[in-house]
Amino acid sequence: MHHRILERWSRGTSPIHGLDPRAKIAALLVFLIVLATAHRSLALLSAGLFLLLAGGVFRARLPLWAVIERAALVLPFSLVFAIISWAAGDPARGLSLLAKSYLSALAVLLVVATTPLPSLLSGLEQAGVPRFLLLVGQFLYRYLFVIVEEAQCMRAAAAARAGSARAWLAGTARFGAAAGALAVLFARSYGRAEHIHRAMLARGFQGNFQKLERNSFRMSDAGFALTASLAVVALRLAAERLAW
Amino acid sequence: MTPLVEVRGLRFRYEDGTAALNGVHFRLYPGETVALLGPNGSGKTTFVLHLNGLLSGEGAVEVCGLPVNPANLANIRRKIGMVFQDSDNQLFMPTVLEDVAFGLLNVGLDRASAVSRAQAALETVGMERSASRAPYHLSAGEKKRVAVAGIVAMEPEVLILDEPTANLDPPGQRSLVELIAHLPQAKILVTHDIPFALALCQRAVFFNGGVIAAEGAVEDIVARFEWGFTAERSKSPGG
């Protein structure tokens, strides 16, 4: 599963892995703002930002092609809107949407793949993201695969009795049965949530998650955040100047 | 001898009206390991959930002399450690070490002490090399050991294990028996696994219909209720 690969990547030892998560989050934020607000000479800027991110992936000692491939998972979603823009007579907007969504996904992936989840969450919390949202994210990440496994077991059990999993996938099985399976999955997930909460209470949980480790923001982290942000801004200025 | 756990006339009814406990009397003494046996739905798990205040019914429940009530809950939950049946429900933190330290931080230990006690607990269960691993990468047996470590780290006086051998292969069961046998706390084991109960428990209580129907030596209870199971090879229809 994707999150297992991300988990493995995030436990690396490169200089980018060693940075404080807040430095990476700050640089990511600047990257996203610069990209989102760019309108002119987008092709040139996109190429520059892509090379910058590829450099980051290389420096983080991650497999470049695998990262590029995984970031492409966002394309089917943005492709729908790109096609709508194209059909509405604005192909440039469609292409811009594709480029921006892909580069944003690549940048987010680079941060997530170089920061273990606990550090990332604690960095986001220190950056002011509401704790409740982060807890939801943490639990979703932890239990997503458990729920997926339950769904897979249910699908196998249904297929074993219906004769063919293909009938389920093709949607020729009764809609009511599929809806029932979804309802059961929801009920099971709800039941599991209750059990988890009970286990937390049994170990003295009183509504506040205490952290084991604290991040420390050093000069080198500030240096990285500043350099990366300046590089992104400089790329945009250069691309716009070249376009004139 | 003063009992560690004393329950008198415990009754409990679920919100849907199902009567789960109908007057349970129970005592656990220091150093004892007791098996709770009985059919599914007889009230065993409901009963143990009352011991650390996760459920609350009518009657008296005392742990180490403290009545289980909202004012004493924090104290009671330090004294009673509970390992749940499905380890996935118990291991929710991103890494093994953080999960084992979860309860320690909740009871107010500083970070350094929590880390040191969590590491010691991981050593006790033989999982010290997995401290930085994610819980979902562990096997069922490893998850169970980490779940036990999370409880042992709290240094409780009573350990409750709900169906501890469920989903474990025979080597996993054997190693869990060895681990539990070496833990010094008094223990309550909710189980259907008779060899497991025989290996660890001096006493068994048999739940039926929300009451304790009998108690005594594990062998006697198993024989009286025909609770053991030995499969015999069935003859094929043709043979």
Of residues B61 and A10, more confidence is placed in: B61
Q: Best mutation site among A134, A190, A203, A213 for testing chain B: the one with the most B CBs within 10 Å?
A: A203
Q: Is the pLDDT of residue A165 over 60?
A: no
pLDDT for residue A155 = 78
Query: What is the phi-psi region of residue A111: left when phi exceeds 0, alpha when psi lies from -120 to 50, beta otherwise?
Result: alpha
Optimal mutation site among B48, B88, B95, interface A, most CBs of chain A within 10 A: B88
Residues A16-31 pLDDT 10s: 999 999 999 999 999 9
**CA distance linking residue A76 with residue A93, whole number of Å:** 16
Q: A15 vs chain B: nearest CA distance in angstroms?
A: 20
Q: What is d(CA A15, CA A77) in angstroms, rounded to the nearest whole number?
A: 33
How, if at all, do strands B5-13 and B19-28 pair?
Answer: antiparallel
Q: With bands split at pLDDT 50, 70 and 90, how would you rate the model's confidence at B25? A: very high
Task: Show the tokens assigned to B166.
Answer: 């469920």
Please state, rounded to an integer, the average pLDDT across all residues of chain B: 91
Taking an 8 Å cut-off on Cβ atoms, the answer to whether A204 and B107 are in contact is yes
Cβ(A176)–Cβ(A184) under 8 Å? no
- Given an 8 Å threshold on Cβ–Cβ distance, is B114 in contact with A212? yes
If one counts every other C-beta atom within 10 angstroms of the C-beta of residue A57, the result is: 22
pLDDT band at B4 (very low <50, low <70, confident <90, very high): very high
- What is the per-residue pLDDT across B175-225, written as a single tens digit (0 to 9) for each? 899 999 999 999 999 999 999 999 999 999 999 999 999 999 999 999 998
Instruction: Give this complex's ipTM.
Output: 0.85
pLDDT at A100: 94
Q: C-alpha angle with apex B4: B3 to B6, nearest 5 degrees?
A: 65
Q: What residues in B contact A205, CB-CB < 8 Å?
A: 102, 106
Token pair for B87:
């380890």
Chain A nearest-CA residue for B72: A204
- A137, burial (CB in 10 Å: exposed 0-12, middle 13-18, buried 19+): middle
Residue B44 above 60 pLDDT? yes
What integer is the mean pLDDT of A5-24? Answer: 89
The pTM assigned to this predicted structure is 0.74
A145 close contact with B: CB closer than 8 A? yes
Strands (E), chain B: 5-13, 19-28, 33-37, 58-63, 66-67, 80-83, 158-162, 186-190, 203-208, 211-216
pLDDT digits (tens, 9 = 90+) for A104-127: 999 999 999 999 877 888 888 888
A165 Cβ contact partners less than 8 Å away, ≥ 6 residues apart: A155, A156, A158, A159
d(CA A195, CA A217): 37
| Cα separations in angstroms, A177 against A158, A181, A191 | 9, 6, 21
Q: What is the pLDDT of residues A53-79, one digit of tens each?
A: 999 999 999 999 999 999 998 999 899
Q: Domains, chain B, ranges and CATH?
A: 5-224 (3.40.50.300)
The whole-number pLDDT of residue A53 equals 96
CB contact at 8 A, B42 and B27: no
- By CA distance, what is B135's nearest residue in A? A142
Nearest to A78 by CA among A46, A101, A58: A101
Contact B218, B203 (CB under 8 A): yes
Chain A, 106-125: which have a CB under 8 Å from a chain B CB? 116-118
Q: Give me the helices (H) in chain A, please.
A: 2-10, 21-36, 42-59, 64-71, 75-87, 91-112, 117-126, 131-162, 165-170, 175-202, 219-243
Query: What are the phi and psi torsion angles at A32 (to 5°)?
Result: -65, -40
Q: Do A41 and A242 contact (CB within 8 A), yes or no? A: yes
Closest CA to A2 of A82, A109, A154: A109
| Segment B38-50 mean pLDDT | 94
For the cut 80, the answer to whether the pLDDT of residue A1 exceeds it is: no
